[in-house]
Amino acid sequence: MTKPRLRFFENAPGQRHIVESDRYLYRQDAPSHNLVVIGTGTMGQEHMRVAALLGRAKVLGIYDPQPASMDAAEALYATICQAPLRRYPDLASACNDPDADVLMICTPNVTHLEVLKTALASGKPIFLEKPMATTLADAAALMDAVRTHSAFVQIGLQYRYKAQYREAFHEVKVRGSLGPVHTISMSEYRPPFLDKVAQWNKFNKNTGGTLVEKCCHYFDLINLMADSRAIRVYASGGRAVNFLDFEKDGVPADIDDHAFVSIDYANGIRASFTLNMFCPDFSEELIVVGERGRLITHERFDFHALQPTQTSVNVELGESGASRRTALSYPALIEQSGHHGATYFEHIALMDQLDGRSVDCATVQQGLWSMIVACAAQESIRSGQAVAIDGFLAAQQLTHLLAPEGGQS
């Protein structure tokens, strides 16, 4: 029989006097894997926090060329874990520590390919933050580099683990309650991009563009829901409000802050995505409509009111069956640990992969297809024309990405 997990009771008032040797429900097994975190900014530190919360891995060491990021990560980790942390002097030593089981790359997008090449040379399993690259040429080079790697490479497209999308996939794919799906709409309304180290995220050359940097998450979700290949993308967008007067070292910011994107899929599904990045708070919506009904998910994160995330899924079946409205939540400690709990479940998938189990996690192919849609949308904004994916890839000598192994899977 599996021991029930009551680990989160361990720090409850009235339970702290239970000494280690008396712990059964609260006992935490020793971590069985060693992580090395490369790039210890916002996301690297989130992964360190979540690894400690989950308890299946310890952070063995960190590397970041910016001392302030290393210091902050080290100080954070000291508050959550007693284990000593190795500070590597350079990337190669971080990647080649013989005690490391997995390398987590959490550096700015434009550095991913170069950092990944050094990481791949170690032969170790790798977790690479999204988006996997900033251009399709780099994404294709990355695919080539990964092809001969015998260990796994997991991409950080983690929104599939948010409570509402897990439920939506189950409802649509497993229960099939909507019947055949024909349309998918998603939207994100949120505040501007936050400050980053050296403000890398204010420039398209570092990010690949707003639709690549941020919206690859949504294109991944839409691709998964459509379960087909995008064949045509039209987008309209631009810069209306954010960072219009921002410059660094004399170079003005150039990132878009709003967009509307339409996507046609090979199986006839039509999808749309709306982005607005000059809102006071965060909200996301997904609407999927099939022949028997409609599914709507909402996520609202009102940080001005210091409210916890509010998440729900509604299934409307009309005369086809029972409709329902359901509020969703993960345990508060998990939701608060990052991205409303998605990072925690992403770490479970990572740990399961290290334990040799097959898992639902973002593959390099899925990372690539999220980028193909995003890059086509950026190109459509630039040209004002709809972008046919076949021609778009052919123009970049990337037709081989359409081969089955480069396909959405």
Binding-site ranges for ligand NAD (CB under 6 A): 38-44, 63-66, 69, 91, 106-109, 111, 115, 129-130, 156, 158, 196-197, 213, 339
Q: Which of 134, 94, 103 is nearest to 35 (CA)?
A: 103
Element (H, E) at 37: strand 33-38
State which residue, 26 or 345, has the beta carbon closest to ligand NAD: 345
Q: Which of 309, 278, 284, 303 is nearest to 191 (CA)?
A: 278
CB 266 → ligand NAD: shortest distance, Å? 28
Rounded Cα distance, 387 and 6, in Å: 52
CB 119 → ligand NAD: shortest distance, Å? 10
State which residue, 171 or 213, has the beta carbon closest to ligand NAD: 213
Residue 37 has phi, psi (to 5 degrees) of: -105, 125
State which residue, 68 or 332, has the beta carbon closest to ligand NAD: 68
State which residue, 196 or 239, has the beta carbon closest to ligand NAD: 196
Q: What Å distances lie between residue 343 and 51, 389, 406, CA to CA? A: 9, 31, 26
CB 233 → ligand NAD: shortest distance, Å? 21
Rounded Cα distance, 311 and 162, in Å: 9
Residue nearest ligand NAD, Cβ-based: 41
CB 257 → ligand NAD: shortest distance, Å? 17
Q: Who's near 54: CB < 8 A, 6+ residues apart? A: 344, 347, 348, 351
CB 22 → ligand NAD: shortest distance, Å? 39
Contact status, residue 90 vs residue 115, Cβ threshold 8 Å = no
CB 232 → ligand NAD: shortest distance, Å? 26
State which residue, 159 or 265, has the beta carbon closest to ligand NAD: 159
State which residue, 63 or 152, has the beta carbon closest to ligand NAD: 63
